[in-house]
A and B are shown apart, each in its own frame.
Chain A
Amino acid sequence: MNPNKQLYYFSILLALVIHGPMLFISFEQTYDAYVHIFFAEHYASHWFDQWNYKWYTGFTVTSYPPMIHQLIAVASLLVGLKGGFILCALISILLFIRGVFYFSRLWVTERSAAYAACAASLCSSYVEAIHIFGQLPSITGIAILLNTLPVIYQWIRYGGARLFMLSLVLLSIITCTHHVTTIFGMVFFIFPVIGLALIDKTLERGEALHVKGFLISLKIDFFRLLCFGISTLLVTIFSIFPYWYWSKSDPISQVPIPHGSRDSFIEVMSSGLIFFIIPWGLMLLFLPFLFKSVFKKRNIFLGISLTLAFILGTGGTTPIPRVLLGSTAFDILTLDRFTYWATILSLPFWGEFLHQLIQGGLKDYLLLRIKPLGYKLLLVMLSVFMISSTIFIMNIGFFRPFQPSKIEVKPILNFLSSDNHDEWRYLTLGFGDQVAWLAANTNALSIDGNYHSARRLPEMTTRVVERLENAKYQGLQGLGALHQFLAQPEKYNLKYIFNNDKFYEPILYFSGWNNVQRLENNIEVWEKPDVSALPDILPRKDIPKYQQLMWSLIPMSVLLIFLIGLITSHIFSIKYIHRYDFQMPTYTDSWFKHIFWAVLITFSTMIWSSIQYMNQKAHQSAENIIIAYFDAIDYKYFDKAYTYFDPLTRPEKEQVLLDISLEDGIANSFGKLNAIKTDIQYAEDKLTATATVEAEWMTSLKLYATSHELSLVQRNERWYIISPEQEKRIPPRTTATTPSYQFSSLGKREAIINTTHHVDILDRPDIAIKQSALISYQGKYHVIGELMNTDVVPSYLTVFATLYDAQGEEILSYYVKDIMKHRLLPKESTAFRIDFEEIAIQHCMKTFKSAYIDGDNPWSYLAKPVKARLSVKSLVTDEELYPFFGIQNLEINDQDLYFDVYNYGSDGVNIPASLTTIYNQENKAKWVQADYFDSEIRALRHKPQHITIPDLDSITIISVLMESAYLINGYPPSHKYRADSQSQNPMIQNNDYQIDIKAHGYLIK
Chain B
Amino acid sequence: MTERLFYILLIISLLSCQNEQVDINALIHTQHIQAPLQLNAGSPLLPYPATSHSHSQQYLLSGINGTIELDYDAKSESIILPKPINEKAGVYTLTIIRDQRITHIRTLEIKAKAAQGKALSYIGPKSVPYNDQNGVMVTSALTDQYNNMLKGQYGINYHQLSDNTYQINRQSINHEYYTSKTLYVSNDKVALVGIEADDSYSDELFFEGSSGCPVSAEIYVEEYYNVADGTQTFQVHLSEILDADDAPVETGTYMRAALYDAEQKLSANYQFICINGTAQITMVNPNQQGDYQVKVSACGDELAASAELSFEADFLEIPKQWISSHLLKVGPIVSRLNQKLQDGTPVLLQFIGCQADETIYYKLDDGICLINTDEIIANCKTTKLSVQIRSIKDTISNPNE
Task: Using CB atoms and an 8 Å cutoff, list the residues of chain A in contact with chain B.
Answer: 159, 161, 164-165, 224, 227, 230-231, 234, 237-238, 241, 535-539, 544, 546, 725, 727, 729, 731-733, 736-737, 739-741, 743, 755, 757-761, 763-766, 788, 791-794, 824-829, 876, 883-891, 898, 900, 902, 904, 940, 942, 944, 974-975, 981, 983-989, 996-999
Contact = CB atoms under 8 A, between A and B. Distances in A.
Contacts of A902: 270, 284
Contacts of A729: 231, 342
A793 B273 contact: no
B297 A794 contact: no
Contacts of A230: 7, 11
Contact of A739 (B273, B300, B343): B273
A164 B6 CA distance: 10
Contacts of A741: 251-252, 273, 275
Contacts of B269: 886-887, 890, 985-986, 996-998
A824 B253 CA distance: 10
B68 A827 contact: no
13 contacts: A159-B3, A161-B6, A241-B17, A766-B125, A791-B210, A827-B213, A883-B254, A889-B230, A904-B233, A981-B300, A983-B300, A986-B258, A988-B265
Given A755-B147, A889-B287, A985-B300, 4 more contacts: A725-B366, A740-B275, A904-B270, A983-B301
B66 A739 contact: no
A827 B298 contact: yes
Interface in B240-297: 249-256, 258, 265-273, 275, 279-284, 286-288, 295, 297
B6 A165 contact: yes
Given A763-B125, A883-B271, A536 B88 contact: yes
Contact of A999 (B7, B249, B271): B271
B299 interface: yes
A535 B266 contact: no
B4 interface: yes
Interface in B10-63: 10-11, 14, 17, 20-21, 63
Contact of A825 (B2, B270, B273, B284): B273
B3 A884 contact: no
Contacts of B121: 758-761
A731 B67 CA distance: 65
A824 B252 CA distance: 10
Nearest to B268: A888
Interface in B115-145: 118, 121, 123-127, 134, 137, 141, 143
Interface in B100-126: 118, 121, 123-126
Contact of A884 (B143, B256, B272): B272
A722 B288 CA distance: 35
B319 interface: no
Contacts of B210: 791-792
Nearest to A737: B280
B265 A904 contact: no
Contact of B275 (A739, A887, A989): A739
A732 B231 contact: yes
B124 A763 contact: yes
Nearest to B342: A729
Contacts of B17: 241, 546
- Bin the interface of chain B by size: 35 or more
Contact of A536 (B6, B65, B149, B268): B65
Contact of A983 (B4, B275, B286, B299): B299
A947 B298 CA distance: 26
A538 B66 contact: yes
B271 to A, nearest CB: 5
Nearest to B64: A535
A975 B134 contact: yes
Contacts of B284: 886, 888, 900, 902, 904, 942
B286 A889 contact: yes
A739 B121 CA distance: 37
Given A536-B88, A729-B342, A975-B134, A763 B298 contact: no
A830 to B, nearest CB: 10
Contacts of B85: 536-537
Contacts of A544: 20-21
Interface in B60-101: 63-68, 84-85, 88
A757 B147 contact: yes
A764 B124 contact: yes
B211 interface: yes
B272 A883 contact: yes
Contacts of A758: 121, 123, 141, 143, 147, 149
A771 to B, nearest CB: 12
B232 interface: yes
Contacts of B251: 741
Contacts of A546: 17, 20
B344 interface: yes
B161 to A, nearest CB: 19
A230 B63 CA distance: 47
A413 to B, nearest CB: 23
A828 B265 CA distance: 23
A741 B278 CA distance: 12
B147 A788 contact: no
A889 B66 contact: no
Contact of B126 (A755, A793, A974, A983): A793
Contacts of B301: 981, 983
Contacts of A788: 299
Nearest to B129: A792
Contacts of A891: 346
A942 B269 CA distance: 13
Lowest 7 CB-CB distances: which A-B pairs, in order? A983-B300, A535-B65, A986-B258, A828-B254, A763-B126, A886-B270, A792-B210
B127 A883 contact: no
A739 B279 contact: yes
A761 to B, nearest CB: 5
Q: Which of B64, B65, B143, B295 has the most CB of A within 10 A?
A: B65
A888 B271 CA distance: 12
Contacts of A829: 299-300
A231 B258 contact: no
B65 A234 contact: no
Given A544-B20, A884-B271, A537 B127 contact: no
Given A888-B284, A986-B297, A825 B3 contact: no
Contact of B11 (A234, A725, A765, A888): A234
A791 B125 CA distance: 10
